[in-house]
Amino acid sequence: IVLTGGDDRLWKMWGFPDGNILMTGEGHTDWLSGCCFRPSGTQLVTSSGDTTVRLWDLSRSGCILTLRGHSRAVRGCCWHSCGDFVASASADGTSKIWDVNSERCRYTLRGHKDSVNSIEFLPFSSTVVTSSADKTLSLWDVR
């Protein structure tokens, strides 16, 4: 199974080796920049040019939560290995750590001088790495 997101505002789940579309999700109002499975495999998270991050329940094929707080396009997203937190990176120069259980932003990471273009949790850790258009990488302890 492979996930894709694109300019058509949709995410698609593809089965291999046949390459058939297993599921499609719509709801974002601009291009998708990222999509990632929850570690349990039951949900996914997407990020978009519409400034939002969305959580999707695969058993219902629908959006179950929209996270708002970035002021510009969200450039990437990822899950923490525990499955309780999502991280997002934005063109507004910030990154956010979202608690999916309380449905709120836990931390806003500020320090880059330009768009934050990618974000990733280090496996089984409270450390996040971000990359920015300001030509820097940053490591953040989000405990």
Q: What is the pLDDT of residues 40-64, one digit of tens each?
A: 999 999 999 999 999 999 988 799 9
* For range 103-108, the mean pLDDT: 97
User: What are the DSSP calls for 17-52, one per residue?
Assistant: TTTEEEEEEE--SS-EEEEEE-TTSSEEEEEETTSE
**pLDDT(30) > 80:** yes
CATH code, 120? 2.130.10.10
- pTM strictly above 0.75: yes
Classify residue 135: in a domain, yes or no: yes
Classify residue 115: in a domain, yes or no: yes
Q: How many domains does the chain have?
A: 1
Classify residue 23: in a domain, yes or no: no
Classify residue 94: in a domain, yes or no: yes
* For range 106-131, the mean pLDDT: 97
Classify residue 112: in a domain, yes or no: yes
Are β-strands 52-57 and 43-48 bridged in parallel, bridged antiparallel, or unpaired? antiparallel
Classify residue 19: in a domain, yes or no: no
Classify residue 51: in a domain, yes or no: yes
Domain residues for 39?
Answer: 29-141
